[in-house]
Amino acid sequence: MDTRCRIHKRERGATAIQILVIMVPVVFAFLGFAIDLGILYSMKGELKSGANAMALAAADQLLGTDASAGAATLAAQATVETASGFGNKYYFDGRPIGANSGTLVSTVTGPNFYASLADALASNASTGSEAGGADGRHVRVTLTGQTQLLFWSFIPIVSDRTVSVAATAVAGISPPLCEACAIEPYAVAAVNPSDTTDFGFVPGTQYSFTFYCTGTQPGLLPESSVELPYLLLNRLDPNAVVFPDEASQIFRDAAGGLPGSTNTALACFEVGNTEVIWASAIPEACFPSAVPAVVIEALCGLDTRFESTPQSVCDGIPGIDTLATIYPPDTDVNEYDTYTDYAGDGRRILTIPIVDALNPSSTMTVLGFRQFLLMPAEGAVDLNAADTFGRFVAMYIGSVAPVKQGRFDGCEQSAGPGKVVLQQ
């Protein structure tokens, strides 16, 4: 009995050793698979982050001009470049995207531009569906990187240690916004409220924006063809700690759009909401009274889109020397008859609320948002901030450029500017 037990124990021990010998390579194989798979997933995520950043940077430059594609391509490339030290330095497997290391390479395909989201999302993204320049509304970027397997490269059936991983991102302009933030607090009345595309404004027309007044109208600025009265909408922040006075606040709002705030009522406008005028911007008779001071201060803000040195009429704005350094001029300050010829960075694009009717003594309802390209004064490369009627010229361009922030849910809009979003 004891002998038989000892024999059985020896047999079980031998079997356990055999199983262990068999299982060790299996365990190491699964371990190797897990490590290699983890590397591939990590690399995929790194490439996806880089592709997302490139696509978003490119889409932000889609302003509906002939120069948009070129500017978008440069913005995408700047996102991953490493030469200047200012790029975002997106890496994959320890190597910068776009950099080669021996036999391992990474490539950037695109950005490619498309007029429709369907074309941009197509799996083959055929060049036949691409749209350049002013027609580009969506962008597609593909990043491909190579890495080497670790454990699985030792398996005899694996002939090449090198594996390629790709990630694609599509970004573009969202549906029309119902809530637009960081835009300018000017309001003009719809010429034709039933026209859901342009509200009766004519693309390419240069409008002489004139501060609303009563009586005999002051007339057009020479470079314009249609007069367009406007009001300033109230976005004064009484609790502001930085730049608490209204002069610097309206300057800032006109120079760069409403600043960010946790209070959306201060930072945004919403379709369907009612608005009132800026309290100190009460219209008066066109003659002989001059416009309220806050209107001139707003013109000073608009002028930063053309020049960095404030005009003398702006000297009374508190902190003007500091404020003027915050907002760089547009890279293109030329006058154009056709918007698609504009080659700037978008600083001169105004996105403003369109209301049902101008009403300085009561409320106005926001119908939507539309865009205008601010123009320099005739024969100049700036505007006249001292205009006694608060006038400036801007070309109507429709809904071509993305807005910095906003929401596109909560209303029914068939047209209007959108914001940049990731779509794949």
User: How far, in Å, CA of 197 to CA of 177, rounded?
Assistant: 14
Question: Looking at residues 331-358, what average pLDDT do you find?
Answer: 97
Which residue, among 48, 74, 80, 52, has the nearest Cα to 61 in the 3D structure? 74
Structure-model confidence comparison of residues 380 and 44, the more confident one: 380
Main-chain dihedrals φ then ψ at residue 259, nearest 5 degrees: -70, 160
Instruction: Record the pTM.
Output: 0.88
- pLDDT on residue 151: 66
Cβ atoms of residues 332 and 357 within 8 Å = no
- pLDDT on residue 155: 56
Structure-model confidence comparison of residues 232 and 9, the more confident one: 232
Q: Which amino acid is at 84?
A: S
Tell me the average pLDDT of the chain. 87
For the stretch 117-134, pLDDT in tens is 999 998 665 555 788 779
pLDDT at residue 249 tops 90: yes
- pLDDT on residue 145: 80
Question: Looking at residues 229-242, what average pLDDT do you find?
Answer: 94
Give the pair of three-digit tokens for residue 136: 């580009």
pLDDT at residue 371 tops 90: yes
Cβ atoms of residues 289 and 279 within 8 Å = no
What Å distances lie between residue 312 and 239, 296, 303, 317, 320, CA to CA?
A: 29, 11, 12, 10, 11
- pLDDT on residue 2: 61
pLDDT at residue 396 tops 60: yes
Q: Which amino acid is at 149?
A: L
Burial zone of 134 (CB within 10 Å; 0-12 exposed, 13-18 middle, 19+ buried)? buried
Question: Looking at residues 248-253, what average pLDDT do you find?
Answer: 96
- pLDDT on residue 129: 75
Structure-model confidence comparison of residues 28 and 242, the more confident one: 242
For the stretch 151-190, pLDDT in tens is 665 555 455 667 778 889 999 999 999 999 999 999 999 9
User: How far, in Å, CA of 394 to CA of 96, rounded?
Assistant: 44
pLDDT at residue 5 tops 90: no
User: How far, in Å, CA of 68 to CA of 342, rounded?
Assistant: 9
Kindly state the helix (H) or strand (E) to which residue 269 belongs, with its residue range: strand 268-270
Q: Judging by DSSP bridges, how do beta strands 186-189 and 349-355 pair with one another? A: parallel
Structure-model confidence comparison of residues 145 and 75, the more confident one: 75
For the stretch 8-32, pLDDT in tens is 555 555 565 666 556 556 555 556 5
pLDDT at residue 195 tops 90: yes
- pLDDT on residue 394: 98
Domain ranges (residues) in the chain:
22-173, 179-418
Give the pair of three-digit tokens for residue 280: 């100190």
- pLDDT on residue 160: 61
For the stretch 48-106, pLDDT in tens is 888 899 999 999 999 999 999 999 999 988 887 766 655 556 666 566 776 666 667 77
Across 44-58, 215-229, 304-318, 324-338, least confident range: 44-58
